[in-house]
Amino acid sequence: MAAVMPAPAQSRLLMSGNEAVARAVWESGVKVAAAYPGTPATEMLEVISTYPDLYSEWSVNEKTSLEVAFGAAMAGSRAFCAMKHVGLNVASDALMTLTLTGVAGGLVIAVADDVGLSSSQNEQDSRFWGRFAHVPVLEPADSQEAYEYTKLAYALSERFQTVVILRMTTRICHVKALVTVGERVAHVGAGFQKDPARWVMVPGAAQKRIPLMFQREAELRAEAEVSALNFVEAGSDRRVGFVTSGPAYMHVKEAFPEAPVLKLGLSYPAPFEKIRAFAATVDNCVVVEEVEPLLETELKAQGIRLAGKDLLPRSGELSPPVLKPAVGRLLGEAVAEPEQKPARAVAPLPVFPRPPTMCVACPHLGVYYTLSQLRNITISGDIGCYTLGFGHPWNALDACISMGASMGMALGLDKGRGESDKDKKIVAVIGDSTFLHMGMQGLLDIVYNKGNVTVLLLDNRAVGMTGGQDNPGNGRDIHGEEAPRVDFAKLVKALGVKDERVHVVNPYELPTLFKTLRDETKIPEPSVIITNQPCVLIQDYHKLKPFTVIDDKCTGCGNCLDTGCPAIHVTKRDSVVKPSGKTVDLAFVRIESSVCTGCGLCVQPCAPDAIVHADKVIQIKALQRH
């Protein structure tokens, strides 16, 4: 990406929370920024990469990104790291020791929690990491605070020589608001200062750092009591007061504009005495936090009388429609039931279900179509666009839990076979970026332990699900500039897979793909099938001539629908009774030629050869007119 011209000082810009954090990182004089793509955090580094005067990179995983940022902070420079909530699980091995070493230059980790599960496999609460690692947590409530808190986080980090967690959520990451911004202030790092007792965390050195960590935590708690980030907003209705943080503060203010509120910007360590004093000024004190009762549990342990998750749900956003009836019941108010709509005179027409699906001509379509045709197999899946293979029409994914887990699960399925599974074929499906993120170790484990697993490595040259970001598998860096490209065939061979067990295939060539997969699953040793076509949404993909359906030749067999391509539409459904008495369902189709990219997947299973290039039909009709 080309560097952007920064806006002048004190400009007001419309920014998402992600964009606001990126701007603040640049203005704070950060020298190194690293991340691995993950919604809802992805845009932070994408935007940072457009700013001048700092180094940015897509790392191969979150742990590596944190280690890169920490290395810069050890050298006295300011550094930044971003990830989604599950990414911090990956990075936690490094984090839990950084809490002992501390940092020299400021180091901020922005963690985006996916409250409401918009695009994640779980809904964990990253505030736990502040308590677990004994590091401060800042929680902005909107884009302006995301900007301000990021800058404050660097001052806090350097003052206490600690990592600071900036806890974002999907609501803040993606919602835009006006943000008043400034200019970059250069920060000159002091350089790396040798100090093995601090930076080399062998047991003897680590033991000496533990008391320093607890001392720092105590000082941070004292800071929380006086911090301007933790403040009380007076209210006229003292029947109920709220202790809250992050976007939940906005929901509280909307739902109960007259109620007193204690807003926590520095939410860990919690200011117990400030909260105790606030709770004493209201009839009822309610802790509103997304999603776990972390603060509530701590405050109850302090003997502070309050309500929390006994009223409010432990998952999802705490929006006004959730807050109002819950608090109304606490106050003994009559809570209105949802209004019953009058019955319709005519029942509504059934709506065709629209489940998540892959893109038109996605190279994964052929893979899952082929897997759906095989029998007696168990398919271990992974995180990416190809996770959608579990759905209709393929139903070709049996398990998926976390990045890179397909490999370990597949080996476990092989080694843990029950009597009913002894003849089943085990297939693991993983994408290129996910393989580089955490899958390589799993494949090495399969090879080392002689697992009977066939691996489908789907190389689409992009981190597809998060927006097509570059990775070491496509030969471009975060700026789109040329970079070394991984040769996956050589890589898997280097991990121990035999030469004859490694195949590179075109996923649009269904017969070849089917034969290769069928043959390799019969071999009782590790094998890898690499598909080699790019994501249809990146610059590497080249669109071909679109196809269309000759209506008179379409028999309604529906074979083309089994590919799952969303460019194919059902125009009519019918049923016929064969002479044998068997009823056959037919589905007559058309192809939306305006979006068809000409991949040819649907042509191959079409029995009556009713699918042809659109220009051929135009030529036929022209000849008929003459």
Annotated binding site: 554, 557, 560, 565, 596, 599, 602, 606
254 CB neighbour count, 10 Å cutoff: 12
Residue type, 228: A
Q: Is 86 within 8 Å of 120 (Cβ atoms)?
A: yes
- Token digits for 564? 């799952």
Task: Retrieve residue 457's tokens.
Answer: 């490595």
Q: What are phi and psi of 465, to 5 degrees?
A: -65, -25
CA–CA separation, 97 vs 424, rounded Å?
Answer: 43
CA-closest candidate to residue 107, choices 62, 145, 153: 153
283 touches 239 (CB < 8 A): yes
- Pairing type for strands 261-264 and 266-268 reads unpaired
Integer Cα distance of 313 and 316 in angstroms? 7
Secondary structure class of 2 (helix, strand, coil)? coil
Tell me the three-class secondary structure of 305-321, residue by residue. Answer: CCECCCCCCCCCCCCHH
Residues 26 and 53: beta-carbon distance below 8 Å: yes
Answer for the pair 269, 136: CB distance below 8 angstroms, yes or no. yes
Closest Cα partner for 66 from 83, 46, 85? 83
Q: Sign of the CA dihedral 343, 344, 348, 354? A: negative
- Cβ atoms within 10 Å of 392's Cβ, excluding its own: 11
> In the chain, what is the greatest distance between 2 CA atoms, to the nearest angstrom?
93
Residue type, 468: G
d(CA 100, CA 111): 20
Q: For residue 97, report the phi and psi dihedrals to the nearest 5 degrees.
A: -100, -30
Beta strand segments in 240-314, E: 240-245, 261-264, 266-268, 284-288
Give the residues across from 503 on adjacent strands.
Answer: 529
Give CA–CA dist 407/439, Å, rounded. 7
3-state secondary structure (DSSP) of residue 253: helix
Give, in order, the Cα–Cα distances in Å from 488 to each of 429, 464, 473: 15, 17, 8
Interhelix angle 440-448/405-415, rounded to 10 degrees, is 20
Binding residues for [4Fe-4S] cluster: 554, 557, 560, 565, 596, 599, 602, 606
Handedness of CA 37, 41, 43, 49 (dihedral sign): negative
Asked if 121 contacts 401 with a C-beta cutoff of 8 angstroms, the reply is yes
38 token code pair: 């993950």
Q: 540: exposed, middle or buried (C-beta count within 10 Å: 0-12, 13-18, 19+)?
A: middle
